[in-house]
Amino acid sequence: MDLTPQAPEMANISQTVKPLSFGFSGSGSEYFRIWIVNLLLSIVTLGIYSAWAKVRRNRYFYSSTQLAGSSFEYHGNAIAILKGRIAALVMITAYNLAFKYSLGLGLLMMALLAAVVPWLIWKSLQFRLVNSSYRGIRFGFRGDARQAYLTYLLWPLLAMFSLYLLAPFMHQRIKRFQHNESRFGATHFSFDAKVRQFYLAYLIGFAILLAGIAVISLIFGGTFFATLQSVRQGSGGPGIIFSLLGFIFALYLWMFAVYPIFLTLLQNLIWNHTKLGVHQFSSQLKWSTMSFIMLTNMAGIVCTLGLFIPFAQIRSLRYRIESLSFQADGSLDHFIAATQEQVSATGEGMADLLDFDLSL
């Protein structure tokens, strides 16, 4: 195919694309005050206040996230979230009690959960998006129940029966459903990442994990056999215990260190293949920075007995948000104005507002 005649046109298009970086203005000290009050009131009220805590937390995170000088807004209702949490608690309690009475009743309850959970997730996605807005324009979700059951029941079952060899396929289908069916006003998102790209990301993450495990096994394996030889000669008994503990700790630390690499691969893959209309998202997350943030966050949480948690959440969230950009094809103001006209012409669809959130 000869692309030469299209080159000037493509050059003109690229000149109209303006990358707009997302910003995050939240601070650990501000969020700590929200977090500690939410925690204490949730404990005092036996978890009932956790719904209101989620609304406060989301409103703070949304208002702290900016694009082109404007912040996002969260409009969720705490009563709706409380309904979702009560429903989730009832289902989990019934599931656990059913198996205590009989295996048959437990399996029946498991089947009922499998039948209802995709529907609940679908309603929760609708609730979350319709209660989010930017510059006064609401987001929305158009996916239907049939798609939800395919995405959250059929694909997970296939992945499970394949011993999770189909996990990347399932992951791609879930993200495709979530992104393709989302909208901003009357403009729809789209997602074009292929299944093979998810398999590649999973394979890279798995290969890095196995390589580290192999190196750790070689290092500690040599130490273990040397200690075992000493024991046979009548000395070095405690060394075996320390060697095994060191091996387990090293494996745990390595698996924790690999997670940021996997997270980076997936976030970049997902957002680099997501569009809003003709406008492209971009993610430039770096695994070295993400690993440093997560490892120092873990150290801070351990050293402060958990009090560093809100600061850790802010650090991680800030980096992930600020690594995102929105490649606006033309003026964002013109796009927003056009979207507002479309919304006013078609209506916000306020009749679709839901009063239920599963709070996943």
**pLDDT value of residue 120:** 85
Q: What is the 3-state secondary structure (H, E, C) of the chain?
A: CCCHHHHHHHHHHHHHEEEEEEEECCCHHHHHHHHHHHHHHHHHCCCCCHHHHHHHHHHHHHHHEEECCEEEEECCCHHHHHHHHHHHHHHHHHHHHHHHHCHHHHHHHHHHHHHHHHHHHHHHHHHHHHCEEECCEEEEECCCHHHHHHHHHHHHHHHHHCCCCCHHHHHHHHHHHHHHCEEECCEEEEECCCHHHHHHHHHHHHHHHHHHHHHHHHHHHHHHHHHHHHHHCCCCHHHHHHHHHHHHHHHHHHHHHHHHHHHHHHHHHHHCCEEECCEEEEECCCHHHHHHHHHHHHHHHHHCCCCCHHHHHHHHHHHHHHCEEEEEECCHHHHHHHHHHHHHHHCCCHHHCCCCCCCC
**pLDDT value of residue 240:** 64
Q: Residue 179 in contact with residue 191, Cβ under 8 Å?
A: yes
**pLDDT value of residue 9:** 41
**pLDDT value of residue 339:** 66
**pLDDT value of residue 244:** 74
* This prediction's pTM: 0.83
**pLDDT value of residue 7:** 42
**pLDDT value of residue 81:** 86
Closest CA to 22 of 73, 74, 72, 68: 68
Q: Rounded to an integer, what distance in angstroms lies between the CA atom of residue 106 and that of residue 267?
A: 37
**pLDDT value of residue 62:** 97
Quick: pLDDT tens for 241-254. Answer: 677 777 788 888 88
Give, for all 360 residues of the chain, the pLDDT tens digit: 444 444 444 344 445 567 899 999 999 999 999 999 999 999 999 989 999 999 999 999 999 999 999 999 999 889 888 888 888 888 888 888 888 888 888 889 888 888 888 988 898 888 889 899 999 899 999 889 999 999 999 999 999 999 999 999 999 999 999 999 999 988 999 999 999 999 999 999 999 999 998 888 888 766 666 665 665 555 555 656 677 777 788 888 888 888 899 999 999 999 999 999 999 999 999 999 999 999 899 999 999 999 999 999 999 999 999 999 999 887 777 777 666 655 444 333 333 334 445 544
